[in-house]
Amino acid sequence: MALEQDIMLSVSIGDGETLRLTNVDPSYEDYECDLRKFEISIGDEAPKWYQYFLCGVRGLLDVLPKETSIKGFNVAVSGIIPQSAGLSSSSALVSAAALSTSHVHNFNISKKELANLCARCERYIGTQGGGMDQAIAFLANEGCAKLIDFTPLRCKDVSLPPGAVFVIAHSLTRLNKAATADFNCRVVECRLAAQLIAKHQGIDWFTVKTLSDLQSGLKGSLHTMIALVKKILHESPYTKEEIVDELKTTSAVLDQTSLTPNTKHIESFKLHQRALHVFEEALRVQKFHEACNNFSSEGALETLGKLMSESHSSLRDLYECSHPQLDTLVEISQNFSLGARLTGAGWGGCAVALVTAENVSNYIDVLKTKFYSQIGIDNNLDGLVFATKPNAGAHIYVI
């Protein structure tokens, strides 16, 4: 679901073909480039803020008709989404950039097409992410959550049970997922797990890039896929050499077809755990949706909270993308909320807890006392812990 926090751009058409960017936060440097010549060059260091913006611009320019006259524009960027917090600040900036570029060039493109485009072009920054953040950024409707499916992108409104409120709490640990191999390593481990099971089941593993591809190829239910993971993949880590042997390929081919530039050096992969988490998590999504559809039944909110807590345990133990301070937040939440889990990529960032409307203030007070005060933070907490309900997605305001 979309939060109240947002990225806002003030945009004007400029002279020539120059993009000029400034950030209202003076700690971020200004940037300008020729829209016909710029490149997105990411080295070993963390990407600059403006490179995320360039991803959205590049993605949109790539789909403009060839006869389009490129227009330069000036942009001032402001935002209140906490950065590296698992709340999709980078995806919001990429999406806002693509939306503004399309508007400047009077290019008619649907929100669904923009969501797909932004999911692809964010990979210019080096992360092999999915499209959930971009989909909700464009397609969110106020007052309801969304059930999102892919290939093709589809969204369905989901009404939450009455009294459901989510509280977001920042763990005050941060990871820039484009600056490390952690995020891409999980993507690669899932890909390798899918390819090994495909090979075992007689499917051409070259054609399989995701666990979703594998499930589609086998036409199996989630329960079937979970059983296959447990049957075929051993729990101990796989070496790169072992994977090469099982796929009957070479290390060079594996580097080319399955790994990313920043994961080619990795020699050990946990395939069983990653695949088991993904398929069991997908099953939890189904159960969460069913509980929302049947919220008139007794205990619906408790069911949702239990699923969220189970999700965090799996993210912590099987996917291994949590952080001790996130785990502390979730542990504190156990007795004061219906359930809690990390949100976003993990390794830091925020936890999200489900609470009843009448318990919001009490729960936030508990976090302030038992978490934030314990790490020496007693002031300016409004941006670190807050309640939210589903909000609307991207808009253009013309003055």
Cβ atoms of 122 and 91 within 8 Å: the answer is yes
What secondary structure does DSSP assign to 79-101, as a single string? E-SPTTSSS-HHHHHHHHHHHHH
Pairing of strands 164-170, 385-388: antiparallel
Catalytic residue among 15, 34, 133, 365: 133
Phi–psi pair at 178, nearest 5 degrees: -80, -10
Three-state DSSP class for residue 386: strand
Cβ atoms of 167 and 339 within 8 Å: the answer is no
Give the helix, strand, coil percentages of the chain, each rounded to 5.
45, 15, 40
Distance from the Cα of residue 263 to its chain's centroid: 19
- Is 255 in the active site? no
Cα–Cα distance between 240 and 66 in angstroms, integer?
44
Cβ atoms of 367 and 350 within 8 Å: the answer is no
Three-state DSSP class for residue 174: coil
Cα–Cα distance between 330 and 341 in angstroms, integer?
6
Helix (H) and strand (E) counts in the chain: 13, 12
Q: Which residues are tagged catalytic?
A: 133
